[in-house]
């Protein structure tokens, strides 16, 4: 297919900076699907795989895509070894789970008809912390025995920086 001329009679196109895939600028607005991994646009002669969570995956990325939690465990072990080599051994056993897009992006706005080319979260590291208000200055006692002039400040309580889980978007190479 050829890219049509614009109103000035010129052929205007865009090109992906890495793949150099050329496309008409109108496809940035018309809902043309992109691969959720490499961002290549789906052409009329090549169909992409539709994942359960609405993302599209090109056949090139599908060849090396990790599709279940069991498949990502060797990668997790490599990551542990990498940090161990930096003398930063990970003592805690952290579950690494592949999840659907909805688990990472509960309420993405601005998407229509399953065409996703906005930035999205591809992984998430979960940990727990609490914030409690702490009193900075002793309060005064005012009229009617009411406490006045109390100044508080939020204070974060963090438990030894333990990670609850590592969530990774499934279907990526």
pLDDT in tens, 119-135: 566 666 666 777 888 87
Give CA torsion, residues 101, 78, 161, 93, to 10 deg. Answer: 90
DSSP helix/strand/coil, 25: helix
Which whole number is the average pLDDT over 144-164? 75
> Helices (DSSP H) in 34-95: which residue ranges?
59-62, 69-85
DSSP helix/strand/coil, 40: coil
C-alpha to C-alpha distance for 48 and 31, rounded to whole angstroms:
14
Band the pLDDT of 109: cuts 50, 70, 90.
Answer: very low
Domains in the chain: boundaries: 14-105+116-137+151-169
Radius of gyration for the chain, computed over Cα atoms and rounded to the nearest angstrom: 25
Look over the chain and give the mean of its residue pLDDT values, rounded to a whole number. Answer: 80
Which whole number is the average pLDDT over 141-151? 79
pLDDT at 122: 67
């Amino acid at each position: 297919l050829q890219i049509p001329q614009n109103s000035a009679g010129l052929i205007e196109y865009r090109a992906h900076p890495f793949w150099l895939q050329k496309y008409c600028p109108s496809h940035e607005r018309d809902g043309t699907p992109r691969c959720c991994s490499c961002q290549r646009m789906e052409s009329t002669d090549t169909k992409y795989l539709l994942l359960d969570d609405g993302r599209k995956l090109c056949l090139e990325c599908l060849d090396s895509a990790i599709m279940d939690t069991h498949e990502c465990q060797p990668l997790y072990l490599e990551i542990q070894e990498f940090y161990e080599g930096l003398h930063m051994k990970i003592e805690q056993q952290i579950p690494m789970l592949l999840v659907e897009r909805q688990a990472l992006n509960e309420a993405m706005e601005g998407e229509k008809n399953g065409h996703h080319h906005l930035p999205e979260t591809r992984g998430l590291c979960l940990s727990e912390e609490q914030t409690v208000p702490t009193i900075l200055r002793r309060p005064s006692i005012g009229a009617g025995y009411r406490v006045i002039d109390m100044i508080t400040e939020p204070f974060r309580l963090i438990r030894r920086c333990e990670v609850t889980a590592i969530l990774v978007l499934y279907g990526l190479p």
